[in-house]
Structure 1
Amino acid sequence: MHRFLLLALLGASPLFNDLHAQSDWPTKPVRIIVPSSPGGGTDTIGRLLGVHFSAALGQQFIIENRAGAAGAIGYAAAARMAGDGYTLLIAPTTITSLHLVLKNPQFDALRDFTPITQVVASAQVLVVHPSIPARSVHDLVALAKKTRNELTFASPGEGSVPHLAVELLKNMTAIQLVHVPYKGVTPGLTDVIGGRVAAMIVNIISAKPHIDAGKLRPLAVTSLKRAEALPNVPTVSEAGYGEYEALQWFGLFAPAGTPQRIVSRLQVLTAAVLREPETRKRLAGEEPIGNSPEEFAKVIKNEVDKWTNVARAANLQPR
């Protein structure tokens, strides 16, 4: 009788229910949607976390690559899923800007997702082909003003953060550059290396091997402080152009409505993974973050506001 009453009281306890619910998740495989093809930075982060989550929770975390439309296909797919803890999304900074150039975006970064944690962040780097007569941001600005609408810059796609990072630079320096959008980082960077396009703002991990080989010339990094991976490259701000900052980050999301207990559990697991020396070695060049869902939500809101203002100033129109 006493045992029955005790169980009844425990069953009515929110703490017991919460703990019981946690032990019930996950009871089946969890998908991690990656809005890009295998092999890129987003995919690498997703697979790294998936392996650790599987080991810690005893269930498969399966990578599902949903590439296309600069990430919009993957974002929209994740936004449509139930918030039951069985769908996650790894997304780059562009989730906060891509909607600005889409006529009918099928996702909203602020409404459709529950932020879990910002996984890593890093500076990007402004590079030019070695044939371009510019060795600093000042040189590039002077050249752009002299040549007028002749200098080209590549991006991984219209509305991507690397695209808007150049639009921000154009606005701050009052120059004109011709945008050449590509379907991803690799084809754009390939054309800069080949001399078919003059410049690009790109993540350091992708650019550094080509910088070291002399195939690209770095002019500046896009963070407020110099990047450890390129310590001799100044920041855009050092060149005298205000508080210029355009970081590349990757974050872990779940569909809206995902229970807080699951969100908290995944955040704690991610932070633990990021503290491991082997993880830090694999993510060389990226700064591990692992912040709280609340802190990450503020980052997302600030990024959406920032890129909305940049797009408006550049008069970018939805397509």
Structure 2
Amino acid sequence: MKINRRTLLGAAAASLCAGAVPRAFAQDDWPSRPVKIVSPYGAGGPNDISARLLGDYLARQLGQPFIVENKTGAGTRVGNNFVAKAPADGYTLLYAAAPYSTLEALYGDLGYDPRKDLQPVAMAATVPLFLVVNAETPVKSAQELVAYGKSQENGLTFGSPGYGSLPHLAVELLLRDAGVKGVTVHYRGDVAAYTDLVAGRIDATLTAITAALPHIQSGRLRVIGVASKSQSEIYPQAPTLQSQDLPNVVAAGWYGFMAPGGVPAPIVARLDSEINRGLKEPDMRKTLLAQGMEPQPGSAAEFSQFISAEMSKWGDVIKKAGIKGQ
């Protein structure tokens, strides 16, 4: 049988078109089965709670279950790495957290490239850090805390929920910006730090406010500032640290959705749109704020720019402070 060149070209073109149909159909049909959301933290914490809240919303909007799976360990590296190596089909998402932007500077090789192997989809929320002191001290502002530190031979003593954590890095930034000496005492979580702060064994802590509220409301701890560019909806009576002669002290935990690199743009765009719509709903906002999280609607491009800026900022702090991952 003789097959001419035109027949061969036609068959090749038909084959290419046929191969393109399933991929296009898969994008148009997404999601056609359950979607996995990987939380790099254990159940019950703010990352897990907000992941489930937003997952339930997406399930209602998109007609498929969005199932949260907790993959903990190595300071979120286990969960991050799992999603980085997942198929780029939109059925595995990462509910990333602030350590994402510090891990490379702390540890070097992560087993995945945080700039290429995962792509930002939509930011969800930030968790502002508040500067808190013992209410029995006369310190009522950040300026007074800095002045007190400069009067002490060893400077200030801060508590943090862990070495290399964002509050630890924020303390290093504050000390550098204030030009004051200081020591950071690392605890396993915030509760032990609050105990020592109430007892007067440390001078201050930078912390998410939710867990500290009982001590604040009882009058044992005092909030003297927030490390945000504007006053927080969560605790609006706290002035910004920027307004208290600490112009560079802006720090917050954050959560947001990421996908494996290479997930088709239409899927990313649809997720981005739905997540942002959900974050603007009054009930969603109210629930997140009650959990100590400020909703942060924004585009995938804006989230990408934010992560890039955070990696640069905290990488510089880590390098200058000589902090190494443990």
Per the normalisation by structure 1, the TM-score is 0.86
Aligned to 2:7: none
- Report 1:1-319 matches (<5 A): 20-149=25-154, 151-189=156-194, 191-193=196-198, 195-284=200-289, 286-319=293-326
Deviates more, 1:190-199 or 1:258-267: 190-199
> What's the offset of the Cα at 1:119?
0.9
Unaligned runs of 5+ in 1: 1-7
Cα deviation code 1:175-199 (max 9, x no counterpart): 2222223344455445545655442
% identity of equivalent residues? 38
8 Å contact from structure 1 (residues 110, 300) kept in 2: no
> What's the offset of the Cα at 1:94?
2.1
Q: 1:20 to 1:92 in 2, by over 3 A?
A: same
* Alpha-carbon separation, structure 2, partners of 1:215 and 1:171: 28
Q: 1:121 to 1:151 in 2, by over 3 A?
A: same
* Alpha-carbon separation, structure 2, partners of 1:76 and 1:175: 38
Partner SS, residue 212 of structure 2? helix
Larger radius of gyration: 2
Cα deviation code 1:53-85 (max 9, x no counterpart): 222222222111122333222222222322221
> What's the offset of the Cα at 1:311?
1.4
Partner SS, residue 158 of structure 1? coil
> What's the offset of the Cα at 1:235?
1.2
Aligned residues: 311
* Alpha-carbon separation, structure 2, partners of 1:193 and 1:72: 33
> What's the offset of the Cα at 1:28?
2.8
Cα deviation code 1:105-156 (max 9, x no counterpart): 3344322211001112243201123344522212222232333447432223
Instruction: Give the letter aligned to residue 115 of structure 2.
Output: L
Instruction: Give the letter aligned to residue 46 of structure 1.
Output: A
Cα deviation code 1:239-289 (max 9, x no counterpart): 112243113321111121212111111111101111221101101254322
Per the normalisation by structure 2, the TM-score is 0.84
Aligned Cα RMSD in Å? 2.8
* Alpha-carbon separation, structure 2, partners of 1:254 and 1:37: 20
> What's the offset of the Cα at 1:18?
7.1
Deviates more, 1:40-49 or 1:24-33: 24-33
Q: 1:156 to 1:142 in 2, by over 3 A?
A: same
Q: 1:228 to 1:25 in 2, by over 3 A?
A: closer
Q: 1:183 to 1:81 in 2, by over 3 A?
A: farther
Deviates more, 1:273-282 or 1:238-247: 238-247
Q: 1:55 to 1:190 in 2, by over 3 A?
A: farther
* Alpha-carbon separation, structure 2, partners of 1:64 and 1:196: 39
8 Å contact from structure 2 (residues 106, 323) kept in 1: yes
> What's the offset of the Cα at 1:170?
0.8
Aligned to 1:3: none
Instruction: Give the letter aligned to residue 239 of structure 2.
Output: P
8 Å contact from structure 1 (residues 76, 107) kept in 2: yes
Cα deviation code 1:211-244 (max 9, x no counterpart): 2222321121001222233232221111112243
8 Å contact from structure 1 (residues 45, 90) kept in 2: no
* Alpha-carbon separation, structure 1, partners of 2:269 and 2:130: 33
* Alpha-carbon separation, structure 1, partners of 2:163 and 2:113: 17
> What's the offset of the Cα at 1:46?
0.4
Aligned to 1:5: none
8 Å contact from structure 2 (residues 159, 205) kept in 1: yes
Unaligned runs of 5+ in 2: 1-12
